[in-house]
Structure 1
């Protein structure tokens, strides 16, 4: 949480400014106001993008980019306790989740610094083309210019890092619009980058509603690339209004994890519980649907009910808390509505599900049917819904029977079957012997269908946030 009164949340061309309106940041458990940030008007949004475009046109060496990112790592690490406290307040997640995400953020920044140092083009062979034997052709990777990063509330450290660090490593200027519910971690990152010497204009920060601030910034004609994590509906809107800017979109999900007939339940079940309920289930790859082979269904349900029942939900600052609140009371009501709909469609609630405001008791359901909204929609809440499958074909059909396709988990010891699932599941990632939520930061990460387009991951994002420039030397025969 900003303690320096000059840190307003509105950062344009190296200066903290005061906007026309104020954004209240609330503690997601107590409801208390923990900070107020400035919200830009249309003029400030336009100035931020214009300033980024000017900055992007100035030279910025690879060594300076890498040094800036590593300097930010040192500064963020030195503020660990403060950043963790702000994270817990603005998200409602536990300190353990905050510490894990901060560690990931530091790694992402370092990985992107390394990618800046090895970013290169390629040599194009022309010797085999008649008349071009002496031509030398190669490509260079050059920055796209202005990158707009629009980030979600559920990962206000690591997801922001996955967008702004690659953009800076590639030599771009970035306009960052964090989620209005959770902007404090983004403020801390911008402070760290500024202190580490990022050139004025290379990082601009605009806090405020997506409907106004976000919409105006993605429409700006000077923007060359938009990276967005959020709902499919907003992703479609961005694609429709951003003109010729390239996009990387990580959108909705309805992630399945499969327990095949030979699954190791001792391995699988604790991982399912962790992946289903961390951050109160508000993770794109949370285990929402658990597809269990009929041979294991009874045992898995009984053991999972015990594990879920042992989870403590409540104040995220309590050392014994496993699951805190969802982001708002409205979100809690939405999750409760999905549970009620599932029950009316034939599902059984084995444990949990009681809702009071933003608190929802971790819930485990059995006998989820295809008629329930939970079978096809994204819950983004603390629940896992089980369905029983009898065959490989039924498991594949159930997993694929949604408009989403981000990641799937498969617990299976038979490699032939495991690889068959990897071939048949229409997902951006298929994780064998872990859940749908498996996501080390260096790996390519992205979805298909309504889960988006493009992939994140330092190596992949840095390259994607550049353009390829072809250079040809038409060399002559020195003897001629």
Structure 2
């Protein structure tokens, strides 16, 4: 299958193509166009020329396009999930869950399109404000460059495209190199939904080439990026004065207090650690368990982990499949080996069988080891004993990341204390930090990012506030 770029409402061939292989089977699944500099510029120009048409759409018209998209995704639910599984090796059960969340995200975007408004400002509260009427309005910021990751190739794209359409901003989308098929599929559906030509453009190619051209273009008003801190910081440094929204990495932790029900907690933690092979920004990576429970927790966690089904992502029974690339698999295995060499206890996993990295549980992990202090993005989880919740809070905060964290406790005071002291963007009480629904304000502190996703909150970042003052004298 030879794909084409999507520029100004037309499907365009490229001069060069790259082969796309399944991470699981290593079979060739498509040929992906590599956009030239001129084609990236053409996509930017198309979006730029569509600004007025998009800005002139009424709230009703924008919501209607998004509602039609929701219907189309519902009609193509299985096809969408199979595309995700094929190109990313996300097990089908989780791919279907992603499609369902994608549908919700665009539904929320349709609803928020009708709620974009400003406020009245009481100027007469000031000494010199008499006889003046003031109000604010929110206007589209302009062309959005959206650079998206492989791990949620439909829903994380939806978190950028949905609010952009709701506002009336045209977009140039650069999807991850391993998961472009989801982006092309979205373009097909939005074409059917009646989105104006040029309002969405999809260009594929290397991040260094395509991404840099988008980030440095004077016609782009905002860059929204989800990915690694290193790339995100580079984007911010190159972007000049344009707005930059960054959703970056994490090594999410959870604290398990004494006295809680482990039978309820362990299944949640296993899902949080190993969903999508641990390739989730808020994947549960560090577990801090009260010393009175750590032995029982570890035994139950090991037992549940070893029941997970490994195999073909297109099989609905599969829980864990291949990492996104052999390179990532080798990197993750090297991090495990480093930990074992440092006398960390390997409870289960740690090996590669049938080209799949087994879900791995480590106990007694020093904070300086890569599996603890860096973002592991693989099916690897660390368990450490703590003497108190305060010790767990200190351990979680001892990180350059701060996206989400969780605590399981029966004590209200302890929960409130943790919610205040954990230095993260979101605190989950009696839940795993991997929990997310798509209308909540999602984002982090420190090297986990500088913005909040969640439709209402993204819309605020994708608009400019304008103040209007009428002198009535």
TM-score, length-normalised on structure 2?
0.97
Separation in 2 of the partners of 1:163 and 1:130? 43
Q: Is the 8 A contact 2:255 2:393 kept in 1?
A: no
Q: Is the 8 A contact 1:338 1:373 kept in 2?
A: yes
Partner of 1:100: 97
Q: Specify which of 258, 272, 275 is matched with residue 272 of structure 2.
A: 275
CA RMSD of aligned residues (A): 1.3
Q: Secondary structure of 2:156's match? A: helix
Q: Secondary structure of 1:90's match? A: helix
TM-score, length-normalised on structure 1?
0.96
Partner of 1:27: 22
1:346 Cα offset (Å): 2.4
Partner of 1:322: 319
Give ranges in structure 1 of 5+ residues lacking alignment: none
After superposition, give the CA deviation of every residue in 1:254-288 in whole Å (9 maximum; x if it has no partner).
Answer: 11111111322122110000010010000010111
Q: Specify which of 113, 128, 135 is matched with residue 110 of structure 2.
A: 113
Partner of 1:360: 357
| More moved, 331-340 vs 68-77 | 68-77
Separation in 2 of the partners of 1:461 and 1:270? 32
Question: Are residue 45 (structure 1) and residue 45 (structure 2) matched?
Answer: no
Separation in 2 of the partners of 1:263 and 1:143? 48
Partner of 1:73: 70
| More moved, 164-173 vs 309-318 | 309-318
Q: Is the 8 A contact 2:117 2:137 kept in 1?
A: yes
| More moved, 24-33 vs 98-107 | 24-33
Partner of 1:465: 462
Q: Specify which of 220, 237, 243 is matched with residue 223 of structure 1.
A: 220
4+ long deviations beyond 6 Å: none
Q: Secondary structure of 1:114's match? A: helix
1:356 Cα offset (Å): 4.9
Separation in 1 of the partners of 2:227 and 2:352? 24
Q: Is the 8 A contact 2:92 2:318 kept in 1?
A: no
**Residue correspondence of structure 1 range 342-381 to structure 2 within 5 A:** 342-356=339-353, 359-381=356-378
Q: Is the 8 A contact 1:259 1:411 kept in 2?
A: yes
Partner of 1:18: 13
Separation in 2 of the partners of 1:23 and 1:115? 38
Question: Are residue 310 (structure 1) and residue 307 (structure 2) matched?
Answer: yes
**Residue correspondence of structure 1 range 44-443 to structure 2 within 5 A:** 44-58=39-53, 59-356=56-353, 359-443=356-440
Q: Is the 8 A contact 1:327 1:358 kept in 2?
A: no
Q: Is the 8 A contact 2:177 2:205 kept in 1?
A: yes
1:23 Cα offset (Å): 2.8
Separation in 1 of the partners of 2:203 and 2:266? 42
1:383 Cα offset (Å): 1.2
1:345 Cα offset (Å): 2.1
Q: Is the 8 A contact 1:173 1:201 kept in 2?
A: yes
Q: Secondary structure of 2:126's match? A: coil
Distance 1:358-1:430 versus aligned 2 partners, 3 A rule:
farther
Q: Secondary structure of 1:384's match? A: strand
1:129 Cα offset (Å): 1.9
Q: Is the 8 A contact 1:259 1:291 kept in 2?
A: yes
Q: Is the 8 A contact 2:255 2:389 kept in 1?
A: no
After superposition, give the CA deviation of every residue in 1:405-446 in whole Å (9 maximum; x if it has no partner).
Answer: 010011111110011111111101110111010101110000
Distance 1:409-1:469 versus aligned 2 partners, 3 A rule:
same
Q: Secondary structure of 1:127's match? A: helix
